[in-house]
């Protein structure tokens, strides 16, 4: 808001301009000297103003840098397995620094990260389309407004982004001959400074591992598994009611006996039956006790509970030495190994589906 918007514009005197009487040469010289003095004064003031603006910009830069130093650092590791499927229909995106997609960061924001998994069904076109376009739509709609309303603006931005991405894909799908019938779940994690915003459709999930001290004096800490997403399938009461109100049916836990999820990108033939692209939104502030986030499609969670997955990763992180690789720290190597082994274990446990796992390490 412009603080001066209520002030009236300066008024100018209207009417005839009076002609001044002739001045003596001495008076004119005096006036000339006075004008020069005023110009020098104003020039100094302008220079001072420029310096003040420059100093203020430098100060803001220093403050932003200071703030950034106290913020969490997220690093993403990914593992993907085709399983027993003929085609890999999952997709994923890792953008540790999303500012490269934004025209400018809001003044109060120091860093933005984006990570997402997409689980396609009926083909890989919807998942690939969403992976290629959703973060670009998000960047275009990303709020640049006031800090006070920022949470509401991010919420609106995410809702609009999912709606736009779904509409764009449905338009493209319907123009094909024959029309594409692909669909995709989406779970994305948007991290703005130390605040995590999670938006999801369908049955891909995000979980956070948070460590807390135990009651004893041995300094041990135990892990808490916090769910950051909500599953959308037709067996859930609210989802089933919406589908039935739209004229659809749920048979064998599926929409019209076919579709296993009740919210998705694409699936044009089911949109008239109550399948929507409105994501569930959740928000959590990261703390120094947070260790990692697991972001994965349902291929993982068919054979792992969320708590089992967290404990499996922790067990790998606590193991002995790891093989050194150039450019990676020992901590990064442990997270890389944990991510790969978690995906492989899901396949070993008998998951025939595609499996995609993103493991986000959190450090302060």
| Closest-CA residue to 184 (of 352, 349, 360, 354) | 354
The model's confidence at residue 44, banded by pLDDT at 50, 70 and 90, is low
- Average pLDDT value for residue range 171-183: 96
For β-strands 183-192 and 195-201, DSSP reports them as antiparallel
- Average pLDDT value for residue range 16-37: 45
Higher pLDDT, 197 or 326: 197
What are the pLDDT digits (tens) for 278-323?
999 999 999 999 999 999 999 999 999 999 999 999 999 998 677 7
Q: What is the pTM of this model?
A: 0.80
In the chain, where does DSSP find H-type helix? 25-69, 125-141, 150-174, 237-245, 298-301, 306-317, 330-348
77 pLDDT exceeds 60?
yes
The model's confidence at residue 25, banded by pLDDT at 50, 70 and 90, is very low
pLDDT of 326 reads: 78
Between the alpha carbon of residue 215 and those of residues 218, 222, 224, 315, the distances in Å are 9, 10, 14, 22
pLDDT of 38 reads: 52
For residues 240 and 245, what is the distance between their CA atoms, to the nearest angstrom?
A: 9
CB 264 within 8 A of CB 184: yes
pLDDT of 339 reads: 98
The model's confidence at residue 221, banded by pLDDT at 50, 70 and 90, is confident
Helix, coil or strand: residue 359: strand
Higher pLDDT, 339 or 70: 339
* pLDDT over 70, % of the chain: 79
26 pLDDT exceeds 60?
no
For residues 337 and 309, what is the distance between their CA atoms, to the nearest angstrom?
A: 14
């Amino acid at each position: 808001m412009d603080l001066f918007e209520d002030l009236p514009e300066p008024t100018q005197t209207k009417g005839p301009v009076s002609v001044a009487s002739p001045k003596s040469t001495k008076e004119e010289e005096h006036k000339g000297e006075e004008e020069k003095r005023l110009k020098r004064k104003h020039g100094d003031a302008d220079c001072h103003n420029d310096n003040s603006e420059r100093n203020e910009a430098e100060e803001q830069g220093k403050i932003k840098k200071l703030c950034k130093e106290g913020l969490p650092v997220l690093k993403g590791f990914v593992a993907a397995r085709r399983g027993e499927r003929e085609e890999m229909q999952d997709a994923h995106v890792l953008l540790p620094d999303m500012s490269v997609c934004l025209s400018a960061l809001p003044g109060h924001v120091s860093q933005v990260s984006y990570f997402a998994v997409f689980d396609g069904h009926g083909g890989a076109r919807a998942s690939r389309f969403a992976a290629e376009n959703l973060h670009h739509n998000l960047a275009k709609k990303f709020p640049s407004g006031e800090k006070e309303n920022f949470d509401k603006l991010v919420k609106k931005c995410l809702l609009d982004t999912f709606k736009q991405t779904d509409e764009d894909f449905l338009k493209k799908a319907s123009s094909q001959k024959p029309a594409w019938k692909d669909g995709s779940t989406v779970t994305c994690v948007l991290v703005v400074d130390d605040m995590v915003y999670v938006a999801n459709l369908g049955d891909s999930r995000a979980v956070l591992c948070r460590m807390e001290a135990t009651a004893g004096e041995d300094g041990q800490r135990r892990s808490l598994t916090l769910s950051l997403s909500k599953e959308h399938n037709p067996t859930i009461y609210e989802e089933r009611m919406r589908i039935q109100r739209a004229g659809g049916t749920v048979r064998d836990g599926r929409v019209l006996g076919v579709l296993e999820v009740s919210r998705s990108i694409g699936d044009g033939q089911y949109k008239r039956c109550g399948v929507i692209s409105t994501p569930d939104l959740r928000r959590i502030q990261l703390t120094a006790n947070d260790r990692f986030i697991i972001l994965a499609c349902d291929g993982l969670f068919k054979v792992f509970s969320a708590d089992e997955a967290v404990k499996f990763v922790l067990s790998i992180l606590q193991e002995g030495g790891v093989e050194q690789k150039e450019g990676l720290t020992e901590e990064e190597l442990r997270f890389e190994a944990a991510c790969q082994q978690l995906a492989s274990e899901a396949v070993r446990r008998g998951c025939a589906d595609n499996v995609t796992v993103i493991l986000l390490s959190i450090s302060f």
